[in-house]
């Protein structure tokens, strides 16, 4: 029993062992005090005046200091001030030993940095209590200091990590060809950490994709989704995938990787400069606006879909709105930051104000800037808010856009597959469910130097393929497409026949061989259809008007020769290409 008690006591003693400085010029008082303190299990450093106390403090840095107020040489007040200075950030409790009672003296003690008083005659119990209290105060302070330092280190690391993360994000989620001449945009440098994302890419066919996303939440969690979206967007856009394919892939990926409640409100536009049209998909984000320059009116395209990453692939809807555009017409995309920008009274900027600004702009070229200014004025901030993300895409001619991928030069001719041929036969199951064009385009783009011609090649492939499939295998009549009304019937029939298809094939035979500064690409597409009497279709006298008119004549302008072979169920295109130096 006794042994056990002793054991517990001694552990407690070790735990609460302190190093205590005592300064008192009175020998007998000092003797009593140091005996009491020592008996409590502490180490004592004894000083006879203020100067000795300061010296001992420097030498020993004790945990607690007991200072007599009135001492010769350096008195307690001055010693306290010096000790406090020496202690710096760490808390060294100073207790004044004094029988001074008047308020002025006590105030002097506090002013010098004393935290408490101990009066004579010394009382062992009171002394014990005070030492204990200040020891735990000191420990608490040490813990706080330590945690503060840890937080500072942690914070520094976090900032550094964010900088690195930002760099990575900037590299991956770069805005692509956003600086194209037909685009204006507003995107804060830290937008990715607000969950906002703007991506733009030219298509191999010469068109352009623009994507604006707004992830739920803020900070890193909101930014993380930007990486796969960006990778998918640029990867697939470059390979000639369609807007539908890209959106479906992004949705599938986000649905799989993001936690419930995190998703991406988005709008995406597929601009065709050749057709002067745009396909628009809007999911959970403010209305995309189409500004008609001639009529000076605005057509809102409402969100018709759930945001990306919400529904499973089989329920994901990629229906788009097709917009015919004139040169100078504009499409505007935004996240809700602009619409929801609030003034001092919490009133939002709102869609009506956006419309007002657009319609009151004299010069359509000023619309973008006017909206930006109006929002800033409304929200009353000189500085641009991080949440304002906005993109304006104008309809221009393809020539205005320049070379889509901007490559060229002889160095591109080295390495890679240059001399080869292949045959690729697509049978009914594949024809029903698979678009072979991205794959074939991708394969061809491996030919060094060919990428700048990808737009033409894609156009050729897609025209030949759709002819072979629709007129050859499916036996659809192109005459149907001559009227807008027949156009819809044509596609209904196409879907129906494709669904029912159980025989037939489309065969690509592709051959590439290099020449000195380029190559010759021969594409033969053959189908199991009946063919046709093509005698009168050789050359450039193909019908050129109407919806279906742009096919073969367009191809004719792009390549050396277009020939029908066999019973008209084969077509051969020879495409010469040269490096533009």
48 binds another protein (CB under 8 A): no
73 binding another protein? (CB under 8 A): no
Nearest distance in Å: CB 70, another protein: 6
Quote the least distance from Cβ 38 to another protein, whole Å.
10
Does position 25 bind another protein by CB under 8 A? yes
Look at residue 389 and give its three-state secondary structure. Answer: coil
Minimum CB–partner distance for residue 31 and another protein (Å): 5
Q: Is 74 in the site for another protein (CB under 8 A)?
A: no
β-pair partners for 283: 266, 305
If binding is defined by CB under 8 A, does position 70 make contact with another protein?
yes
Among 17, 39, 218, 578, binds another protein (CB under 8 A): 39
Instruction: Identify whether the C-beta of residue 476 lies closer than 8 Å to the C-beta of residue 493.
Output: yes
Query: Which long-range contacts (C-beta less than 8 Å, at least 24 apart) are formed by 186-191?
Result: 186/368, 186/372, 186/384, 186/388, 186/389, 186/390, 186/391, 187/389, 188/384, 188/385, 188/386, 188/387, 188/388, 188/389, 190/166, 190/386, 191/386, 191/389
Q: Closest approach of Cβ 98 to another protein, in Å? A: 8
Q: Is residue 104 near another protein by the rule CB under 8 A?
A: no
Which of 29/351 has CB closer to another protein? Answer: 29
Q: Does 126 bind another protein (CB under 8 A)?
A: no
Question: Is residue 100 part of the contact set for another protein (CB under 8 A)?
Answer: yes
* Nearest distance from C-beta of residue 36 to another protein, angstroms: 6
How far, rounded to the nearest angstrom, does the alpha carbon of residue 86 sit from its chain's CA centroid? 49
Work out whether 27 is an interface residue with another protein (CB under 8 A). yes
Residue 122 binds another protein (CB under 8 A): yes
- State in angstroms the smallest separation of the CB of 68 from another protein: 9
Annotate each residue in 239-268 with x if it binds another protein (CB under 8 A) or - if it does not, as one string: ------------------------------
Whichever of 13 and 190 has its CB closer to another protein, that residue is: 13
Work out how close the CB of 33 gets to another protein at its nearest, in angstroms, rounded to a whole number.
9
Cβ atoms within 10 Å of 467's Cβ, excluding its own: 20
Nearer to another protein, 120 or 542 (CB): 120
Q: Which is nearer to another protein, 30 or 239 (CB)?
A: 30
- 3-state secondary structure string across 407-463: CCCHHHHCCCCCCEEEEEEECHHHHHHCCCHHHHHHHHHCCCCCHHHHHHHHHHHHH
- Distance, in Å, from the CA atom of 198 to the CA atom of 264, rounded to the nearest integer, reads 12
d(CA 276, CA 455): 16
| Closer of 3 and 28 to another protein (Cβ) | 28
Taking CB under 8 A as the criterion, the residue among 16, 26, 188, 435 binding another protein is 26
Confirm if 512 and 521 have CB atoms less than 8 A apart: yes
Judged by CB under 8 A, which of 36, 64, 135, 510 binds another protein?
A: 36
CA distances from 89 to 76, 133, 142, 261, 337 (A): 21, 20, 10, 45, 44
Does 425 sit near another protein (CB under 8 A)?
Answer: no
Could you check whether the bond before residue 71 is cis, i.e. omega within 30 degrees of 0?
Answer: no
Q: 490: helix, coil or strand?
A: helix
Handedness of CA 144, 148, 153, 157 (dihedral sign): positive
Q: Are strands 43-47 and 19-23 parallel, antiparallel or unpaired?
A: parallel
CA–CA separation, 533 and 313 (whole Å): 44
Which range in 118-126, 282-290, 310-318, 347-355 contacts another protein by CB under 8 A?
Answer: 118-126
Tell me the number of residues near another protein by CB under 8 A: 17
Which parts of this chain interact with another protein (CB under 8 A)? 25-29, 31-32, 35-36, 39, 70, 99-100, 120-122, 124
């Amino acid at each position: 029993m006794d042994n056990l008690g002793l054991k517990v006591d001694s552990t407690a003693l070790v735990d609460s062992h302190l190093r205590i400085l005592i300064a008192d010029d009175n020998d007998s008082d000092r003797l009593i005090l140091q005996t009491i303190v020592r008996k409590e299990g502490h180490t004592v450093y004894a000083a006879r005046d203020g100067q000795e106390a300061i010296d001992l403090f420097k030498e020993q840095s004790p945990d607690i200091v007991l200072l007599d107020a009135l001492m010769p040489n350096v008195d307690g007040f001055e010693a306290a001030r010096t000790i406090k200075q020496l202690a710096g950030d760490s808390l060294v409790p100073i207790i004044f030993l004094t029988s001074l009672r008047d308020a002025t003296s006590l105030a002097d003690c506090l002013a010098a940095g004393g935290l408490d008083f101990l009066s004579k005659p010394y009382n062992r119990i009171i002394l014990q209590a005070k030492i204990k209290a200040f020891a735990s105060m000191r420990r608490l302070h040490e813990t706080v200091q330590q945690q503060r330092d840890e937080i500072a280190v942690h914070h520094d690391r976090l900032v550094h990590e964010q900088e690195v993360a930002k760099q990575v994000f900037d590299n991956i989620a770069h805005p692509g060809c956003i600086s194209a001449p037909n685009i204006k945009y507003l995107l804060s440098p830290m937008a990715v950490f607000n969950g906002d994302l703007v991506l733009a890419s030219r298509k191999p066919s010469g068109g352009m994709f623009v994507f604006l996303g707004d992830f739920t939440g803020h900070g890193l969690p909101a930014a993380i989704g930007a990486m796969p979206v960006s990778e998918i967007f640029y990867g697939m856009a470059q390979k000639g995938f369609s807007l539908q394919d890209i959106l479906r892939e992004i949705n599938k990926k986000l649905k799989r990787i993001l936690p419930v409640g995190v998703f991406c409100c988005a709008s995406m536009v597929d601009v065709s400069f050749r057709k002067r049209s745009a396909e628009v998909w809007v999911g959970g984000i403010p209305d995309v606006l189409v500004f008609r320059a001639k009529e000076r009116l605005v057509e809102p395209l409402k969100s018709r879909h759930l945001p990306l990453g919400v529904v499973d692939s089989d329920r994901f809807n990629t229906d788009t709105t097709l917009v015919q555009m004139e040169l100078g017409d504009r499409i505007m995309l935004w996240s809700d930051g602009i619409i929801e920008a609030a003034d001092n009274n919490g009133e939002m900027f709102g869609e009506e104000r956006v419309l007002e600004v657009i319609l009151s702009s004299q010069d359509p070229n000023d619309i973008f800037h006017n909206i930006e200014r109006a929002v800033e004025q409304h929200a009353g901030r000189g500085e641009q808010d991080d949440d304002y993300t906005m993109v304006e895409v104008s309809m221009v001619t393809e020539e205005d856009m320049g070379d889509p991928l901007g490559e060229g030069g002889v160095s591109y001719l080295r390495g890679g597959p240059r001399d080869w041929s292949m045959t690729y036969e697509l049978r009914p199951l594949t024809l029903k469910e698979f678009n072979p064009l991205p794959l074939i385009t991708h394969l061809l783009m491996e030919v060094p130097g060919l990428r700048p011609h990808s737009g033409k090649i894609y156009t050729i492939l897609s025209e030949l393929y759709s002819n072979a499939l629709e007129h050859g295998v499916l036996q659809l009549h192109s005459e149907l497409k001559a009227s807008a009304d027949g156009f819809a019937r044509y596609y209904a029939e196409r879907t129906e026949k494709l669904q029912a298809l159980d025989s037939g094939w489309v065969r690509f035979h592709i051959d590439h061989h290099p020449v000195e500064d380029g190559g010759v690409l021969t594409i033969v597409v053959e189908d199991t259809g009946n063919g046709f009497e093509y005698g009168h279709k050789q050359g450039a006298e193909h019908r050129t008007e109407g919806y279906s008119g742009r096919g073969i004549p367009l191809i004719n302008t792009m390549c050396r020769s277009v020939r029908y072979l066999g019973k008209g169920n084969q077509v051969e295109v020879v495409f010469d290409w040269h490096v533009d130096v």
